[in-house]
């Protein structure tokens, strides 16, 4: 009790604060999401995400080498698919010579120790912008899962270390595990997007991949709320994470990040596997916009948010700030 105990004794200066700091960050805590485009020597900035680019495979490989040199050990990759390759089956997703498969091979050849976690979902390949196959006016769960298994196995054949299903279909983790094992990929892991909320924070990401739901000549859902989670729910997130672990997930993810730290802690307390948190495009864009206007100190708010995500229970943070934060930490 005061005055015997004074909390401020442990805050006197930075040396003392660093001695008793409960949470720390390092570049190895980060995974960098990367957008890949067709062509060569292509680098196109995404307008709603300053500093983030769609890159062709050759420039992606160079960026991966830089990330690895900074201490970042994982990348989460997405592809911008040409419209003429999109349909309602998603079949381009498991093309062995597709853009994603070529990118995985190129990254692993150039930087074998970088952990590559390709996205497993059909929305970049869908003519309707949904995460699965449209049937009778909705996303067909089981037919979509069949497609996701083929997609994940093709990623493993290309050299992926983990597959990262972001689709939120029921039962897909078990089917992916069975499919990977049947194909001989027992050591390819699954990082499941277990608690992925139907969030408005994804807008810039959908700009990057042109993956928002689209108007169609058939009945399609106007949004993704029939498969992504209601952001009013907490217990559901725990249930989803526990089911994914039971089905064989090696890691689970909570998405978005800062607005969902209560969910991060709940999931961390409930599961016995690492928890990844996706610090998403909208959260990134808000900091960039506010700092450009002089309303926030960019680096300070960036590091504070990343530290808070780690403090809440994240084992790994997928963040568009990964490179910037790693440079600061290395200084």
The Cα 121–Cα 132 span in angstroms is 7
| Numbers of helices and strands, H then E, in the chain | 11, 12
C-beta neighbour count of 128 within 10 angstroms: 21
H or E segment to which residue 207 belongs:
helix 203-209
| Distance, C-alpha 222 to centroid of its chain | 23
The Cα 320–Cα 331 span in angstroms is 19
Of 196, 224, 268, 323, which one is the catalytic site residue? Answer: 196
Q: Residue 65 catalytic?
A: no
The Cα 267–Cα 167 span in angstroms is 19
Residue 311 makes CB contacts below 8 A (sequence gap 6+) with: 22, 23
The Cα 218–Cα 89 span in angstroms is 15
Of 255, 268, 310, 323, which one is the catalytic site residue? Answer: 255
**Exposed e or buried b for every residue in 223-242, given b needs 16+ CB within 10 A?**
ebeebbbebeeeeebbebbb
| Distance, C-alpha 72 to centroid of its chain | 15
The Cα 204–Cα 201 span in angstroms is 8
Closest by CA to 187, choosing from 154, 164, 159, is 159
The Cα 234–Cα 147 span in angstroms is 29
H or E segment to which residue 6 belongs:
none
Q: What are phi and psi of 179, to 5 degrees?
A: -65, -45
Q: Residue 196 catalytic?
A: yes
Active-site residue list: 196, 255
């Amino acid at each position: 009790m005061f005055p015997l105990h004074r909390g401020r004794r442990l805050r006197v200066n930075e040396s003392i604060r660093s001695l008793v700091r409960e949470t720390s960050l390092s570049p190895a805590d980060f995974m960098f999401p990367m957008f890949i485009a067709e062509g060569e020597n292509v680098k196109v900035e995404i307008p709603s995400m300053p500093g983030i680019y769609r890159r062709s495979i050759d420039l992606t490989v160079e960026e991966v080498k830089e990330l690895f040199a900074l201490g970042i050990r994982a990348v989460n990759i997405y592809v911008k698919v040409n419209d003429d390759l999109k349909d309602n089956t998603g079949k381009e997703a498991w093309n062995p010579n597709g853009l994603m498969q070529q990118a995985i091979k190129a990254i692993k050849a150039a930087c074998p120790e970088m952990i590559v976690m390709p996205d497993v979902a059909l929305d970049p390949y869908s003519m309707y912008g949904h995460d699965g196959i449209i049937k009778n006016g909705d996303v067909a769960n089981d037919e979509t899962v069949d497609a996701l298994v083929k997609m994940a196995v093709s990623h493993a054949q290309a050299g992926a270390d983990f597959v990262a299903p972001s689709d939120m279909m029921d039962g897909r983790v078990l089917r992916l595990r069975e499919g990977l094992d049947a194909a001989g990929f027992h050591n390819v892991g699954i990082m499941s997007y277990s608690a992925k909320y139907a969030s408005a924070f994804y807008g810039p990401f959908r700009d990057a991949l042109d993956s928002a739901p689209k108007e169609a000549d058939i009945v399609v859902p106007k949004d993704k709320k029939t498969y992504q989670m209601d952001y009013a729910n907490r217990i559901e997130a725990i249930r989803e994470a526990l089911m994914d672990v039971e089905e064989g997930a090696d890691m689970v993810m909570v998405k978005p990040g800062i607005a969902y730290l209560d969910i991060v802690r709940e999931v961390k307390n409930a599961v016995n596997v690492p928890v990844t948190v996706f610090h998403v495009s909208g959260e990134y864009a808000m900091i960039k916009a506010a700092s450009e206007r002089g309303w926030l100190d960019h680096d300070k708010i960036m590091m504070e948010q990343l530290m808070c995500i780690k403090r809440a229970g994240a084992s790994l943070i997928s963040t568009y700030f990964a490179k910037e934060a790693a440079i600061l930490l290395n200084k």
